[in-house]
Structure 1
Amino acid sequence: MKVVVLAGGKGERIGGDKPLKTFLGKPLAYWVFNIAKKINLPVYFSVKNTDQAQKIAEVLQRLNVPLQTIDFILDKHPELEGPISGIWSVVSKFKNEAILFLAIDQPLVEPEFLNWLISLSEVFCHSFVILSKGEDKIKPFPGIYPGWLNEEIEIFIKISPKYSLFRLFNYLIDKGRVLTLEDSYINPRNFLNLNTLEDIKEAEKCFYLR
């Protein structure tokens, strides 16, 4: 298996360059990367282009992260908006493996939860996309996305009028290829997204109060 941090979004709501925005004095890329490294699997950043890759590499190097531990996967489908382009680029590279995807704006994910997702995927021989679901909607990250998804996305792109991630989930659910977990049994910090600067300030405030 591989661990991939999705870091190729525009980050418009946070003012751009989301991986570089600081939380508790360090960039989001640093926090999520360190969580991912605790899983003891190869870690990659999924990015739109080399400019994004260079910025993330530079900020991590300044924090003494060895250059040889930082790997990037460039987006092969920049014409697609949203995380579906990054996911497709990654699963097309690792067609015979399963990938644990993390979002760059989830710096409070617990390694124990990630290891549980990995174990669950192994129990089912990586036959399912594994996601969490609340009362209102699916929570796509953290989640397991097997390499066989490459072929399914190719079909989905041909038949769907729009290419949103949640349309893809509906397509996969109809085919019985998704395993959803009830999020009421999971610590909510695993799904906390810091989408805006206000979100970061509120999360920092809660962290210091604790």
Structure 2
Amino acid sequence: MIGLVLCGGQSERMGSDKGILLADGQTWASLAEEKLKALNLPIQFSVNANQESNYGNLFQKENLIPDDLTLNIGGPLKGVLSAHLSAPAEDLYVLACDLIKMDISLMNRLIDEKKQYPDFDAYVYLNNEFYEPLCGIYTANGLAKIMKLYNKGNLKKHSMHATLDLLNTYKINLSAAEQGYFKNFNSPSELNK
């Protein structure tokens, strides 16, 4: 399994690249990297074409996975499928760089559940019946199913939520106390809340 830090968003509402924003003296991408490293995973970074040079200065270039330009898909799914195409036999543990409050014990629980129930395509948390898709495990088999649908022109929606509906997804309900770990930050005003 590869730990994949999703950094390739456009960060339009934030006004600057979220992955290189600083919290406690570290970039958000580095914070996500540390959390995934705590799970003993090799780490790669999903980036868009405009980010490659900046991230190449922060991380080893061989650990960057630029968006596959042949994929006519937007959003996080483009980064996830680009990583899948670069290592099709590997499961991906996906963590968005803006989930800076994420708890390592929650992340580890997904790995434990996957070991106990290995026959699912994806493993994610549910927050009041809504998927939390940007901290989850996507298996190689599950992503191959999505690529097959895409290649046949049958992947009608490109959201992570729609993708999880197409897979045999293992869901874990979050407690009220755990929901705050999934707070993501999309604009400067949200940073002060």
What TM-score do the two structures reach when normalised by structure 2? 0.86
Question: How much is the aligned-residue C-alpha RMSD, in angstroms?
Answer: 2.2
Partner residue of 1:187? 178
User: Equivalents in 2 of 1:190, 1:71: separation in Å?
Assistant: 26
Deviation at 1:32, TM superposition (A): 1.5
In structure 2, the partner of 1:53 is 52
Matched position secondary structure for 1:105:
coil
Does structure 1 conserve the Cα–Cα contact (< 8 Å) formed by 2:13 and 2:186? yes
- Unmatched tracts of structure 2, length 5 or more: none
Please list, as runs of the form range in 1=range in 2, the aligned pairs for 1:189-204 lying within 5 A after superposition.
189-202=180-193
Tell me by how many angstroms 1:100 deviates. Answer: 0.8
Q: 1:47 to 1:38 in 2, by over 3 A?
A: same
* Identity score, percent: 24
Correspondence for 1:206? none
**Structure 2 residue 114 is the aligned partner of structure 1 residue 121:** yes
- Kindly indicate whether residue 18 of structure 2 is the aligned counterpart of residue 5 of structure 1: no
CA distance in 1, matches of 2:176, 2:116: 19
Which residue matches 2:17? 17
- After superposition, what is the alpha-carbon deviation per residue over 1:150-188, rounded to whole angstroms, capped at 9, x for unaligned? 32112332213332222222222xxxx111110127622
Contact 1:82 1:164 in 2 (8 A): yes
Q: Distance in 1 between matches of 2:83 and 2:45?
A: 10
User: 1:75 — aligned with what?
Assistant: 67
Query: How far off is 1:136 after superposition?
Result: 4.6
Q: Is the Cα contact below 8 Å between 2:120 and 2:170 reproduced in 1?
A: no
Residue 111 of structure 1 corresponds to 104
Structure 1: stretches of 5+ with no match in the other structure: 62-66, 203-210
The alignment covers a number of residue pairs equal to: 190
Give the Cα separation in 1 of the matches to 2:120 and 2:87.
15
As a proportion of its length, which structure holds more helix? 1
Local SS of the residue matching 1:13: coil
Of structures 1 and 2, the larger Rg is shown by 1
2:7–2:46 CA contact under 8 A, matched in 1: yes
Mapped pair 1:170 → 2:165: yes
Aligned to 1:93: 86
Deviation at 1:71, TM superposition (A): 1.1
CA distance in 1, matches of 2:119, 2:190: 34
Which residue is equivalent to 1:137?
Answer: 130
Task: Confirm or deny: 8 A CA contact 1:132 1:138 kept in the other structure.
Answer: yes
Q: Provide the rounded CA distance (Å) in 2 between the counterparts of 1:188 and 1:113.
A: 11
